[in-house]
Structure 1
Amino acid sequence: MQEAVDKPLQEVTLAFLGDGRSPIAPSLATGAAKLGMDFRIIRRLVSGQLLHLLPT
């Protein structure tokens, strides 16, 4: 991640778009927390609308 952005990781927001119940989401949340990054989970509601969850 550090190679992809030109600013400190503490100033980067990582977003996961998908099923927040999958094992990938908590793994990304843990990694982001260890690096001091902001982490968001965005998932689709049954109605097709996007739901933006609170930061973890």
Structure 2
Amino acid sequence: MYDRIWTYAWNNMVNQKYGNWHFKLTRDNDVPDDIDSTPEVKIGYHPLGACYDVLQTVEQ
């Protein structure tokens, strides 16, 4: 399950051009027009914490 979640995150949530994360996507996995996806986007602990929360939910 971890590999499936990480593959999804890598393919859809990681900004491949700049290496940061898209913290919000549309239902079609596109970045909404109101989101700035340039390198100036603040990155931090949230993606890691979100992955941890998902894994905790899946394990239950």
Higher normalized contact order (CA 8 Å, seq sep 6+, divided by chain length): 1
Instruction: State the TM-score, normalizing by the size of structure 1.
Output: 0.29
Which protein is richer in strand relative to its size? 1
Which protein is richer in helix relative to its size? 2
